[in-house]
A and B are shown apart, each in its own frame.
Chain A
Amino acid sequence: MAKITYIQHNGTSQSVEAQAGMTVMEAAVKNLVPGIDADCGGACACATCHVFVNPEWLDRTGKRSDMEEDMLDFAFDVRDNSRLSCQIKVTDQLDGLVVQVPEKQF
């Protein structure tokens, strides 16, 4: 299990318990965290689960895959810490992870 905190654009935050093996997107959708649309259901095919990973977590969430990098072309305001949350697998090492949800997924 890992605690994941989602911070909204307006500053409100929500922490959820996520099981290892699920994705950061799935943990958000399952717990009704707003702002993670995930149109395609987690296939890395739509870029509507875009999040900003808090910088201190970037080494633990790992690097974007080539497919994810391509798909981020369809996101808005892409930053160095941008990730598609469907591509971040929850592990026990991610306990305490903080991500920011963009103002709009599009």
Chain B
Amino acid sequence: MSSEIVTTDAVIVGAGPCGLFAVFELGLLDIRCEVIDILDRPGGQCAELYPEKPIYDIPALPYVTGQELVDRLLQQIKPFKAGFHFNQMVTEFRKTEAGDFELKTDGGLTFRAKLVVIAAGGGSFQPKKPPIPGIEGYESKSVFYSVKKMQTFSGKDILIVGGGDSALDWTLNLQPVARSLTLLHRRDDFRAAPDSVNKMRSLVAEGKMQFKLGQVTGLTGTGGYLQSVQVKGPEGAFDIAANTLLPFFGLTMKLGPVANWGINLHENLIPVDTAKFETSVPGLFAIGDINTYPGKLKLILSGFHEAALMAQEAFHIKNPGEKLLFQYTTSSSSLQKKLGVA
């Protein structure tokens, strides 16, 4: 990972619909943006939770799916050429002596910006941790919720649990490097891509890995090092010998490191004023589901409105003392130039 510092006008934390529309509103005011998201693609909840599901309350779009809304937003903000940084969680946040913000991510990126917009929705998507008794004691030694480096798993006796794409993809990727690999799932049907399932079944037929039906009930090991996993199967309980466990049960939203950024919080939400959508820290804004104010509704359309008002104040932070002329995209040739349509 590069250790160079990305310097920009605004950093937007969260690439959901509100974060994406913030790129548009800031872009119209010549504010350059870098967008950071923990997921591997833009769209936030719309892309992760309900890409195929219908949304009926976007103004002028009687029906739109989550993914289509994201695609349309990406098209709308294209002229502003924002930088996107995926698979990154902002872990450190501070205001520098110079008055700007410095953010660091778990992927080793550093950002410097005049202002920061938190558009993190329900928080950061993080892997679900199955509530198996004592599992915490094995985490990062024997139990992993994601694969950062393949070589960590080389020569291990691996048990992968789950039936989705992550479980199947990592089964196929880790099988060649593992000493042994077992896939455990609660049923003989998978929500993963059929092609991956077929490949997994071939490996089983060739005797290169095992597939078992059942659910994990307990773990046995010492000092954080796993020895075996207790399983409840359709025909009773059994053990699987494994020193590495990878449970893939999808993602859940957690507020995450934002809680440690020194911002006032109210029930895990960030209070803002309703003129500028600024937090208790000047220059730090919060829009969309993560903020709260009297009358707040967690609607995408509310987040869009919040982005527009936030951008007005952002302009004054970037251009102190300058007057902002309010313009319409329909009639302003200067805005149309920025949009690439004039």
Q: How large, as a class, is the contact surface on chain B?
A: 20 to 34
CB distance from A41 to the nearest CB of B (A): 9
Contact A104 B162 (CB under 8 A): no
Q: Contact at A46–B49, with CB atoms within 8 Å?
A: yes
Report whether over half of chain B's contact residues are helix, strand or loop; otherwise say mixed: loop
- CB <8 Å contact, B131 and A76: yes
Asked if B201 CB lies within 8 Å of chain A CBs, one says: no
Nearest-neighbor residue (CB-CB) of A103 within chain B: B131
Shortest Cβ distance from A52 into chain B, in angstroms? 14
Bound-state CA distance A70–B164 (Å) is 9
* A73-B130 Cα distance, complex, nearest whole Å: 12
Cβ contact within 8 Å between B215 and A70: no
CB < 8 Å: which of B53, B130, B185, B191 contacts A106? Answer: B130
Give the bracket for the number of chain A residues in contact with chain B: 10 to 19
How far, in Å, is A25 (CB) from chain B's closest CB?
15
B250 sits at the interface (CB 8 A)? yes
Taken together as a complex, chains A and B put the C-alpha atoms of A72 and B186 apart, in Å, by: 9
> A39 touching B128 by the CB < 8 A rule?
no
Within 8 A of B (CB), among A61-106: 69-70, 72-78, 103-104, 106
Q: Is the CB of A48 within 8 A of B162?
A: no
- CB nearest to B129 among chain A residues: A106
Known contacts A46-B252, A106-B249, A106-B252, A76 near B53 by CB under 8 Å = no
Which residues on B sit within 8 Å (CB–CB) of A72?
Answer: 186
- Of the candidates B45, B128, B131, B215, the one whose C-beta lies within 8 Å of that of A78 is B215
**Are B252 and A73 in contact (CB-based, < 8 A)?**
no
Q: Is B205 an interface residue (CB 8 A)?
A: no
The answer to whether B253 has its CB under 8 Å from any CB of chain A is yes
Residue B322, interface by CB 8 Å: no
A39 pairs with B252, CB closer than 8 A: yes
Is there an interface contact between B50 and A43, defined as CB atoms closer than 8 Å?
yes
**Contact B131–A104 (Cβ < 8 Å):** yes
Asked if A32 lies at the interface with its beta carbon under 8 angstroms from chain B, I say: no
Determine the chain A residues whose CB is within 8 A of the CB of B49 once the complex forms.
39-40, 43, 45-46
A72→B187 CA distance, assembly (Å) = 10
Q: A interface vs B, CB < 8 Å? A: 39-40, 43, 45-48, 69-70, 72-78, 103-104, 106
Q: List 24 A-B contacts (CB under 8 A).
A: A40-B50, A43-B49, A43-B50, A43-B53, A45-B50, A45-B53, A46-B49, A46-B252, A69-B187, A69-B189, A70-B189, A70-B191, A72-B186, A73-B162, A73-B163, A73-B185, A74-B128, A74-B164, A74-B250, A75-B249, A76-B131, A76-B215, A104-B131, A106-B252
